[in-house]
Amino acid sequence: MKPENIDYSLYLVTDRGLSRGRTTIQIVEAALRGGVTCVQLREKACSTREFITQALSIKDHLKGHNVPLIINDRVDIALAVNADGVHLGQSDMPIETAKAILKDSMIIGISAESLKNAVQAEKDGADYIGVGSIYATSTKTDTASPLGLEGLREIRRSVKIPLVCIGGLNRENAGEVINNGADGVAVVSAIVAAHDPEKAAGELKKIIEQARLLQ
């Protein structure tokens, strides 16, 4: 899938620890019915073999939906399953190294916790930037202080590539990050931990679409 064809508007990041006993596949299936446009598989504790098995299964479920599979952190896993892309944090493999390995075969997203991070990511050739945390969040404890909407606006003024915001986003604030320059809203608990992930995704999708119409 070409970078220009990716719809980042409702970007699901998986987290099996928040899934209320449901499998990642069940969450992804429900989220797809609700309208998610991008899925990032994030696995911090499982074995490489299990990660590959999960990724292949999710990739199979995404077929026909025109929804890309992004692998968090692991370039080797992304290559093994022929994913659409990989997402790298500031302490993960440097983007120049990832590009040398991937040779433009997939998109690369980079996390940015500051304006400096974002500008550098664009300069280094990232296809999109994961901006955040925007608000305080309990799903990631190793991040810098929340950027807030002003931080988002500052980054939007400085870079041209797509911005996907993450961190404390839900039905109450998803629209405002779109209105302040985000191309997409990345959520974890708002869908994964929801009683009804399909309904939660559908509600977020509607809010995002309405916000985009006002731009």
- Kindly report, residue by residue over 33-67, the tens digit of the pLDDT: 999 999 999 998 899 999 999 999 999 999 889 99
- Encode pLDDT of 58-107 as tens digits: 999 998 899 999 999 999 999 999 999 999 999 999 999 999 999 889 99
- Per-residue pLDDT at 145: 83
Alpha carbons 192 and 187: distance in angstroms, whole number: 8
- Domain edges within the chain: 3-213
Q: What is the 3-state secondary structure (H, E, C) of the chain?
A: CCHHHCCCCEEEECCHHHCCCCCHHHHHHHHHHHCCCEEEECCCCCCHHHHHHHHHHHHHHHCCCCCCEEEECCHHHHHHHCCCEEEECCCCCCHHHHHHHHCCCCEEEEEECCHHHHHHHHHHCCCEEEECCCCCCCCCCCCCCCCHHHHHHHHHHHCCCCEEEECCCCCCCHHHHHHCCCCEEEECHHHHCCCCHHHHHHHHHHHHHHHHHCC
Question: What is the architecture of the domain spanning 3-213?
Answer: Alpha-Beta Barrel (3.20)
> For residue 117, what pLDDT band results from cuts at 50, 70 and 90?
very high
Reference 38, options 9, 61, 76; nearest CA is 9
Is there a contact between 198 and 12 (Cβ–Cβ < 8 Å)?
no
Alpha carbons 212 and 71: distance in angstroms, whole number: 27
Catalytic residues: 42, 111, 140
> What's the chain's average pLDDT?
94
Among the ranges given (99-108, 116-125, 135-144), the one the predictor scored with the smallest mean pLDDT: 135-144
Alpha carbons 156 and 208: distance in angstroms, whole number: 18
Handedness of CA 180, 184, 189, 190 (dihedral sign): positive
Indicate left, alpha or beta for 200 from its phi (over 0: left) and psi (-120 to 50: alpha): alpha
Is there a contact between 206 and 179 (Cβ–Cβ < 8 Å)?
no
> How is residue 116 written in tokens?
């400096």
- Encode pLDDT of 178-211 as tens digits: 999 999 999 999 999 999 999 999 999 999 999 9
- Per-residue pLDDT at 11: 98
- Per-residue pLDDT at 102: 95
